[in-house]
Copies of this chain bind each other. A is one copy, B any other.
């Protein structure tokens, strides 16, 4: 706390800053939660099935929608995880951070549209290439902006002083390779769209799963501490 205040800062400024950080988080989490939940609205219930078999068929034939749902959910989940990791490291935020953050949210809340587009055109030979490319480009842009947000935070010294340089570089290194993978997959998607989308899912899972979440490094497993009978 004490080290969060430079000369000339009143306690009121500190309090106001915390308040803003809280509201920034609240707005961001709101957008993430809604973007993720709106995805389901885009899957239409199959109409006019006459028999049990018919409905089962229609429901199964919706697999592209389920795939798109899972891909977009996972990607937004991964971006949320990265966003949380970034804000955890921040000591303060500035005007540039707020604006970049708004841009990240604009992209996140835009994602349901390309998701819907892809789900509508998969299996439709010509158009599905366009849909998969647009989809990949949007996912790429979202992640790229997250990386820019992080690099900006590091450059402008918004990060807590007690965060080690290796930790900071680790997060940078974790966020970067996905971008190259997106570019490669977008190219692949011009020929084999479904493979590209499978790859988008793999990127999201790579971010979610083997992600050494920063603070976990600093947190020793304490299995031994409290033996239960």
- Which residues of A are interface residues toward B (Cβ below 8 A)? 6-10, 12-13, 16-17, 19-20, 22-27, 29-41, 43, 45, 47, 49-56, 59, 69-70, 73, 77, 80-81, 84, 87-89, 92, 94-95, 98-99, 102, 105-106, 109-110, 112-113, 116-117, 120-121, 124, 126-127, 129-131, 134, 156-157, 160-163, 165, 208-209, 211-216, 218-220, 222-223, 225-226, 228-229
Q: A31-B33, A50-B126, A52-B130 known; 15 other A-B pairs, CB under 8 Å? A: A16-B88, A16-B214, A22-B25, A27-B32, A27-B80, A29-B30, A35-B37, A38-B40, A38-B41, A41-B41, A50-B127, A52-B129, A73-B109, A95-B211, A156-B223
Closest to A39 in B: B109
Collect the chain B residues with CB atoms within 8 Å of residue A41's CB.
Answer: 38, 41, 112
